[in-house]
Amino acid sequence: MPNDLYEYQAKQVEQIIVRPFAFDFPDDLDPQWIPDDIVRGHFFNGVSLTMPYLEPFLVKTMREAAEHLTEPRLIEDIRGFNGQEASHYKCHRRLNTLLKANGYPELEEVENKIDAAYKKLSKRSLRTRLAYSAGFECMTNGFTTWLINRRHALFHGASAHVTSFWLMHMVEETEHKTVAFDTYMAYSGAYLPRFLGVFHGSFHVIGYGMLGMFAALKKDEILTSPKCIAGLIRHMGSLIWHVGPFLLRALLPWHNPRGEADPEWMQEWVAGHATLADSSSLPLVDTNDPDMPVPFTAEVSLA
């Protein structure tokens, strides 16, 4: 039932823009696209595997919720959210097809497990699915800040195509970061399910992402090597250190994603993208540049 106490609040961004994801991944794309850290590359590939199942689930859940809502600005936000998520999963699917074709066909087994998990989740109540969606999106906010602000440490020298894709995805996640939360608040607003949704949404996705990562590391026959174990500890430590505080803040009864500042690079990216004459051709981030600036040549000024 809709929450009568819900009131719409302004977002940090004026508009949620649906952009084409015109990434032409090379056919011979190396699944180990972060050459100096195989574990990290496989982790992001594992998370990518979940997206063509998770993101359509989010779209369906939000569409179903919109039928119960009347606030026109929120309904407009949901439209933008769904448009962006639909572009994301289609591009992830293209990337995942290459990962499987270029050395890791066993990832299909992981995809089958993810598919079954989302079919099961889709049978839960709308409130539970919305709490999951809001919780997952809160975690994504931390993920975004981690990827954008630590882009040099994470992606230095990595594939420009995959790096640019992940960063663009994260920019749009920041842009629509309020929508799943607002939809949950407008539909229910109850605290306990939202609290549980933070764990449910975050650990479910990261868990399946890790399953994909372990499948790839097993294929590489390095899963039990000391170097791989050290890489796993380092990478998971970094994830917990950077994303954990976002999860803890999301658990607070007064939490609102509007309280999280948008990274400056994200704002520069949005302003830079708006200067593109043809938005269907996306310039790539230079992963060899120590600053990894936004990939747009026009001067942009932030308001």
Structure tokens at 118: 């989302």
- Closest to Fe ion by CB, 85 or 182: 85
- Which residue is nearest to Fe ion, using beta carbons? 88
Residue 122 phi, psi (nearest 5): -65, -15
Tell me, by CB under 5 A, how many residues bind Fe ion.
Answer: 3
In terms of CB distance, is 57 or 232 closer to Fe ion? 57
Could you tell me the two tokens for 274? 């708006």
Of 92, 65, 77, nearest to 205 by C-alpha is: 92
Q: Are the beta carbons of 250 and 198 closer than 8 angstroms? A: yes
Q: Decide: is 173 part of the binding site for Fe ion (CB under 5 A).
A: yes
What residues numbered 84-143 form the site for Fe ion, per CB under 5 A?
A: 85, 88
Assess 182 for contact with Fe ion (CB under 5 A): no
Stretch that binds Fe ion, among 80-88, 147-155, 219-227, 249-257 (CB under 5 A): 80-88
CB-based contacts of 84, cutoff 8 Å, min separation 6: 16, 18, 19, 172, 175, 176
How near is the Cβ of 286 to Fe ion at its closest, in Å?
24
Residue pair 117/204 in contact by the 8 Å Cβ criterion: yes
260 touches Fe ion by CB under 5 A? no
- Residue closer to Fe ion by CB (options 77, 173) is 173
Q: Give the residue with the Cβ less far from Fe ion, 173 or 260.
A: 173
Q: Do 211 and 46 form a contact (C-beta atoms < 8 A)?
A: yes
Alpha helices in the chain (DSSP H): 38-66, 72-101, 107-121, 126-149, 151-155, 160-175, 179-187, 191-219, 226-250, 264-273
CA 104, chain centre distance (Å): 22
Q: How far is the CB of 221 from Fe ion (least distance, A)?
A: 33
Rounded to the nearest 5 degrees, what angle is found at the Cα of 194, between the Cα atoms of 189 and 196? Answer: 155
Rounded Cα gap, residues 211 and 213, in angstroms? 5
19 in contact with Fe ion (CB under 5 A): no
Count how many Cα atoms sit within 13 Å of the Cα of residue 7 in the half-sphere of its side chain: 2
Instruction: Tell me how far, at minimum, the Cβ of 39 lies from Fe ion, in Å.
Output: 23
Residue nearer to Fe ion on the CB measure, 32 or 146: 146
Which range of residues in 116-124, 167-175, 190-198, 245-253 is near Fe ion by CB under 5 A?
Answer: 167-175
Identify which of residues 88 and 200 has a Cβ nearer to Fe ion in the complex: 88
Toward Fe ion, which CB reaches closer, 37 or 85? 85
Q: How far is the CB of 35 from Fe ion (least distance, A)?
A: 26
Least Å distance, CB 70 to Fe ion, is 23
- Residue 175 interacts with Fe ion (CB under 5 A): yes or no: no
Smallest separation (angstroms) from Fe ion to the CB of 88: 4
Q: Which residue is associated with the tokens 């230095």?
A: 156
Question: Which stretches of the chain bind Fe ion, using CB under 5 A?
Answer: 85, 88, 173
